[in-house]
Homo-oligomer: A and B are copies of this chain.
Amino acid sequence: MQLRNQVEWALHCCSVLAGLPAGRYLSTKVLAELHGVPKEYLSKALQGLSQAGLVESTLGPSGGYRLAKTPGQITFLDIVEAVEGKTSSFVCDNIRYNNPCLRKGYRADGACAIAQVMWDADQAWRDKLRSVSLADLGKTLRKTVPADILDKTQGWVLERS
């Protein structure tokens, strides 16, 4: 079980967009170059973010993407779900109903107790992701990444936004 590589891409792109001055857009081309990933494929991830309402886009020269909300309003969960979808990682095929002791067509009242545990764990994962916003991430980055790298990168991005 593994998340798509687009999740890493989307998170990093949002992190960059969160540092962009108001009104500026950043194009797929620039984001792809910054992260060293294929532009056309990254575009699919960005379209997912756009459909989820996390970013907004504009066309034409100097077009691209910007956040549609403040960094404090966008969580890791929002971004992960925009790329991966909201369905649980555990899928219950109800193999319990294949039990030959049951009459055919029998259906229980509630969910299988095993599935319930798995779904609770999935929820714990989502809760954790929901607890961190892009604003939180920005704070951490400013604490842990050398200032000169942040500055140089910010300059590089601004030249292209």
Contact = CB atoms under 8 A, between A and B. Distances in A.
Interface of A: 1-5, 7-9, 11-12, 15, 33-37, 76, 84, 87, 89-93, 95-96, 98-102, 108, 110, 113-115, 117-118, 120-122, 124-129, 132, 137, 140-141, 144-145, 149, 152-153, 156
B1 A76 contact: no
B132 A128 contact: no
A4 B3 CA distance: 13
B124 A127 contact: yes
Contacts of A98: 34-37
B99 A8 contact: no
A94 B129 CA distance: 20
B137 A3 contact: no
A82 to B, nearest CB: 13
Interface centre among A113, A127, A145 (most CB of B within 10 A): A113
B153 A76 contact: no
Given A3-B1, A34-B100, A35-B98, A144 B113 contact: yes
A93 B115 CA distance: 31
A102 B148 CA distance: 10
A129 to B, nearest CB: 5
